[in-house]
Structure 1
Amino acid sequence: MSAIESAESAVAGAVLLADPALESRREIGEALTERGFSVRYADDGAEALEASLTEVPDAILMAPELGVIDPPTLAALLRANPRTQRTRRVLLGPLPEEAAAFDDSFEPASGEGTLADWLVSRMATETRPEAGWGPPESPSEVEGQLSQIALTDLLELFHANRRTGRVELTRPGGGGREEFGTVWLRDGQPLEAKVGPVDGEKALFRLLTWSQGQFAFSPEEVVVVPRIQTPLRGLLMEAMRQFDEWERQRSELPPLEARVNLRVSRDELPNVVQPITQEVLLLLDLYSRVRDVVDHCGHPDYQVLRTLQALVDRGLVELLRDPYGSTKPELGVAVLGHEESSRLEAWLREGERQHRGKLVVAAASPEVLGDFLNVATSLPGARLSGEIDGGAAVVWERLTPLGSLTLEGDLEIELWHLPIDDGYQSVWSLVSWGALGALLVSRRGAGVSALEPLCEALLAAGTVRLFHLSLVAEKDAAETDADKRAGAEVLGLDGTQAVTLPIDTQPELERELNALIHRLVP
């Protein structure tokens, strides 16, 4: 018996060939079969994923183009699942240019001879680790990142294969907390969904907007009360319609964190109103925050917000501005690009910080902290902690989390407030250690001296990069220009990177915030 024949008899195993091109699939399949491999076929990435989970192959060969679930996404899903993490992933050609960064997820088929010869040699000369084979340690059958495969695509995949079980979802929330959601399926049809206090179709529509976080599907018998009756295709179409309405109207709708009150007595309210208006008015007797009214109303989120805004326009309801400014519209600040996100992720991983970084914030006064929070709440992906409900004056005296900022995928930056009071001097450098930076915030030319002891201590410790944020309102800008003409010196902090934020002028503020976020990346 030849060496190759001996190797074939010893190592030929199960191969899954994912290739939509029938001719190349036939040629490769026949060659592998002649070498003693058992070959199964898949037309696209979704079919390949289902086939891999049904019967784990020794190797999966992937064409570069596989439809919605492309090779990088398929490889990530296989690596994340304990049953399939040891399956060899072989790419049969170069990836498209936009996915080329994922080349290291595969073993490139190379060397002399045919693909079948290479595969026989590869499997004969390498011993496969036993870890990862057999039943998974976790009950989850499919796990992955929502940034790699959207919940919409997952539901369509499970629907096509008539799967029954539970999809668990998590994503970063404010103050280091996480948000959780669940979708229950029977034969691929959603029966119930839940996120926070919301359930049914309303919860499912919210979950379909999540673009970052993790998912895990567990096959199991479903015993929940079916609150969702609409077929999946109708659900996805309605979710898309609601999302489009939200995007179109979001700048005109009340922010979720705003407080809301009736401005008139019940006797002054109109007698004939729409059902949704009647429900909203009743909920205003129970809740004083927009988010709570939206959560407890049975109508779609954007309709509830539109109804609230109509009541505000008619003078029946008033929105109350929080001291940290959550009623400001969201600023158009860009997320990080792929290269910067990769650098930040590598820096976090090197420091064993997982996907979560930290920014330290110190303000010269409670009023300055309030202005900073007013800006921070307008950033896309920003969530404030419940710790600051007492207002900036209370927070300014505490070492406490302020909230978080989601940048790209599951990358999250926590914001921590560091008091400038001397009583906290012993922990200044300790709290700042390992942070992306320390933001020392003052009004331009005012209150700088209050930050100097902290600045000097952090410079001496050398544990963090320092940024001096000067907040400038229109009134401050006029005064500063007058000081310059008079020859007065505008004070700064030595050893810091100076950043000026014109808080009353949105285009300039967006530009400066963009620059600051990009400068924070190591």
Structure 2
Amino acid sequence: LTQSRANGLGRRVSAEEACDALEPHKGTSFDPAVVDWLRHIVLDDGINAQIMSARHRVLIVDPDPEETSVLEVQFAGQGYDVSIERSIKGALNCLNTDAYDVVVSEVNLADGQGFELLELMRKNAHTQAPLMFVTSDRAQSSVNRGLELGAADYVVKPTSAAVVAAKAGRMIANSRAQKSGGRGVSGSLQEMALPDLIQIIANGRKSGSLKVRNGASQGELMFQDGSIHDARFGELSGAEAVYGVLRLTEGDFTLEPQSAPVPDVIGIPTHHLLLEAMRRLDEEQR
């Protein structure tokens, strides 16, 4: 009643209104003692403030009411305090008024692009919450720009609201564990294939470590200015490790930026590595 409009009243209500709405159902749908204790607990200012401060807060920025409704129900069901805005201006007003743990934004907003929102957030020390794009914009240039600007993730619609909430929870945990230092980017290989991800890193001339995990299988690709300079996959290293990593089509990835230079151990252009990996996969499937 207090966290989602998808209820019998058709709107989000205050805690007091919610308790009043339960009163007619005492003794029928609900135990009277439970309703009385609920009113006592949620209306106690001290306890309520403590509960609210312990809950995660998410800001959803999307002009599509249907999209935001699905996400709102998912997040509210997991105990999040949810706010919804349709525009950059509205989102900035929220961010400047309250502290949020994570922002979930569409790229195409009512008054501009989500990239502008992210840029403005990063210019203000008080609006440094991790932002993930959940968008219908699947253009590689947009994905690339989002990653370059420091988005925590870039998810293309349609996607599961449960997946978005799970990613948001992981971002909050990572953000709290690493209050300082650069933010990494993480995601699922089912949502973004490794070759596509490598192309994005190459086009953006990014340096860092791309770690991939699928159960017991773990690999790491080390990039310098967009080129794969070294790799590890189990007991394999160098180019063979790259080919091993590229066999993975399921699992999770994490891209961690790094400033230390990586020696070019492999010495093969990245696009040649990708072509050879694809050739080997084709041969195996024959």
Q: TM-score, normalised by structure 2?
A: 0.46
Which one has a bigger Cα radius of gyration? 1
The structure showing larger relative contact order (alpha-carbon pairs under 8 Å, at least 6 residues apart) is 2
